[in-house]
């Protein structure tokens, strides 16, 4: 045992000093052997250890497309504050580094598997987010901030515990050639509200999941995550967590804190138990998939508090806040075919549902259809072009906590309500050029065209720099002290050029 522990410590020190050799060298411990192949994999006693990563940085120019919008509800016809036109930026896009490996457990046929993965912020310094469009206590550049787990595997499949992207997200990742670019399909797909949080594409903490082997082309994955929440309404931080489940710190839903008179709580989408499952088939050029995910006790009563502007709520709507803690689920089917011409065609149809009573449907913006179509074409051995279109369908209602040039509803005098046009379309085009086997240069253009009441963004799904619906209203910090103004009906646009290295 002492010798094994000593060897593990020796290996950690060896990796920490940054050796990237792909062949055995005199500086390596005598018991290490580099496995032949493209990956940096070491054969260690009774197993293997692989160092892997992804480095992706782009130079962008983007516009929020809100220069022409006004807000006549204040009687002055004022527009958004700040520079809502074109703005250049550098963005770190889904960059990470990790180690994964396994250890064979004697003659049992079982393997102990593990993975430790962390995000890399290449173009900026890591820290927690606290702006007028997003608040979070999570430091994404911290160690093991991304998919990390331990588990057991065998011929029957693999059982893991830790945190991971849920099966609902992973099963259609191959249909997203714009992953972490502007125009990533998660701007609309799996994204109920159009914010930079992707509700059914989020990483799930404290989870346990099973992945089957592929049998006759079929693969199954099932995940369960206990909510670990002492609050009946998911309003507390989950035990062992530093952030509300689903993202955002307590109170960042626009209500909360002594100055506001509202309670501080996880009331902007925090949920309790989560369940996710997927079934996929791959045979020859055809790929088919179906997936389902459900979140229990999703707390969105900040919508009600903001609409009525009072806590406790007025007598005529007493109990609305309790009823606005409800389950949400999503279902999708997907198909992709790869043709001999170097053409790949894929599509997804998705339906997301929020189970609130009929008297709250006027503020239910979390229930809708979504559609995604993508076509990729190889131009040469090194070049390819990719096209994508996503459509967000109309929802039953809208909480209306956004500045808008449209009509108002009686409750709270906010824009929105039932039967408003909050549909949106997103268009994406990308050219990719492979410089080496693992290094790709890309040029990307994307636009989100929002309906009059919609506020879908650009950049959701893995970008450090997002282009959203908020202006530069002071104070610039978010959380319970923020004063974000979200403008509906904008046409956001971005152009990016970047480099992506995967190893």
How many angstroms separate the CA atoms of 464 and 336, rounded? 29
- pLDDT for the residue 22: 40
Mean predicted confidence (pLDDT) in 132-156: 77
How many angstroms separate the CA atoms of 114 and 119, rounded? 17
- pLDDT for the residue 145: 87
How many angstroms separate the CA atoms of 326 and 76, rounded? 38
| Residue carrying structure tokens 């879908």 | 456
Q: Is the pLDDT of residue 300 over 50?
A: yes
- pLDDT for the residue 141: 59
Mean predicted confidence (pLDDT) in 299-318: 88
Peptide bond preceding 312 in cis form (omega within 30 of 0): yes
Query: What SS3 class is residue 239?
Result: coil
Span 411-425, pLDDT tens digits = 344 567 888 899 999
Query: What SS3 class is residue 430?
Result: strand
How many angstroms separate the CA atoms of 479 and 447, rounded? 28
Could you give the domains of the chain? Answer: 1-45 (no CATH), 54-502 (2.40.160.10)
Q: Are strands 157-165 and 148-154 parallel, antiparallel or unpaired?
A: antiparallel
Which residue has better confidence, 338 or 308?
A: 338
> Which tokens in the block code for residue 495?
């152009």
Q: What is the mean pLDDT of the chain?
A: 86
> Which tokens in the block code for residue 372?
């995604």
Q: Is the pLDDT of residue 324 over 70?
A: yes
Q: Is the pLDDT of residue 228 over 90?
A: yes
Q: What angle do CA 497, 499, 503 make, to 5 degrees?
A: 160
Which range is most confident: 78-92, 341-355, 411-425? 341-355
How many angstroms separate the CA atoms of 69 and 73, rounded? 12
Query: Rg for the chain (alpha carbons), in Å?
Result: 24
- pLDDT for the residue 253: 61
Mean predicted confidence (pLDDT) in 455-472: 89
What pLDDT band is residue 251 in, cutting at 50, 70 and 90?
low
What pLDDT band is residue 406 in, cutting at 50, 70 and 90?
very low
Which residue has better confidence, 315 or 134?
A: 315
> With left for phi above 0 and alpha for psi between -120 and 50, is residue 75 left, alpha or beta?
left
CB atoms within 10 A of CB 391: 16
- pLDDT for the residue 34: 85
How many angstroms separate the CA atoms of 68 and 376, rounded? 35
Beta-sheet strands, E only, within 142-190? 148-154, 157-165
Beta-sheet strands, E only, within 120-190? 148-154, 157-165
Mean predicted confidence (pLDDT) in 443-460: 94
By residue count, the chain amounts to 503
Q: Which of 90-99, 121-130, 386-395 has the lowest mean pLDDT?
A: 121-130
């Amino acid at each position: 045992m002492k010798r094994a522990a000593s060897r593990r410590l020796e290996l950690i020190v060896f990796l920490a000093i940054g050796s990237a050799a792909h062949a055995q060298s005199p500086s390596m411990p005598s018991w290490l052997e580099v496995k032949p192949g493209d990956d940096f994999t070491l054969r260690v006693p009774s197993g293997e250890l692989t160092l892997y990563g992804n480095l992706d940085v782009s130079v962008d120019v983007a516009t929020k497309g809100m220069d022409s919008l006004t807000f006549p509800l204040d009687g002055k016809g004022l527009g958004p504050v700040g520079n809502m036109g074109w703005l250049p930026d550098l963005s770190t896009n889904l960059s990470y580094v990790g180690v994964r490996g396994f250890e064979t457990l004697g003659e049992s046929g079982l393997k102990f598997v593990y993975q430790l993965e962390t995000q890399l912020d290449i173009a900026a310094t890591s820290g927690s987010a606290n702006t007028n469009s997003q608040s979070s206590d999570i430091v994404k550049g911290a160690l093991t901030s991304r998919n990390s787990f331990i588990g057991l595997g065998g011929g029957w499949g693999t059982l893991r515990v830790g945190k991971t992207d849920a099966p609902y997200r992973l099963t259609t990742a191959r249909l997203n050639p714009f992953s972490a670019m502007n125009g990533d399909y998660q701007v609309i797909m799996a994204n109920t509200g159009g914010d930079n949080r992707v509700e059914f594409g989020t990483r799930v903490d404290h989870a346990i999941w099973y992945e089957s082997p592929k049998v006759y082309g079929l693969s199954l994955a099932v995940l369960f995550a206990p909510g670990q929440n002492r609050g009946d309404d998911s309003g507390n931080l989950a035990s062992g967590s530093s952030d509300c489940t689903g993202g955002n710190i307590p109170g960042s839903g626009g209500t909360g804190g002594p100055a506001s008179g509202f309670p501080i709580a996880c009331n902007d989408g925090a949920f309790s138990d989560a369940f996710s499952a997927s079934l996929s088939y791959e045979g020859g050029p055809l790929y088919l998939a179906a997936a389902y995910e459900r979140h229990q006790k999703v707390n969105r009563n900040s919508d009600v508090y903001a609409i009525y502007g009072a806590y406790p709520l007025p007598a005529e709507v007493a109990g609305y806040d309790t009823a606005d803690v409800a389950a949400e689920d999503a279902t999708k089917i997907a198909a992709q075919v790869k043709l001999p011409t170097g053409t790949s065609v894929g599509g997804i149809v998705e339906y997301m549902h929020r189970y609130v009573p009929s008297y709250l449907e006027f503020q239910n913006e979390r229930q809708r259809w979504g559609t995604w179509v993508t076509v990729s074409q190889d131009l040469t051995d090194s070049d390819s072009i990719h096209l994508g279109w996503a459509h967000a369908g109309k929802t039953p209602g809208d909480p209306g906590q956004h500045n808008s040039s449209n009509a108002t509803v009686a409750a709270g005098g906010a824009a929105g309500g039932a039967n408003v046009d909050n549909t949106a379309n997103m268009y994406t085009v990308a050219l990719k050029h492979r410089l080496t086997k693992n290094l790709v240069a890309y040029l990307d253009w994307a636009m989100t065209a929002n309906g009059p009441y919609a506020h879908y963004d650009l950049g959701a799904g893995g970008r450090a720099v997002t282009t959203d619906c908020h202006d530069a209203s002071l104070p610039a910090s978010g959380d319970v002290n923020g004063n974000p103004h979200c403008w509906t009906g904008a046409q956001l646009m971005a152009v990016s050029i970047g480099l992506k290295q995967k190893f």
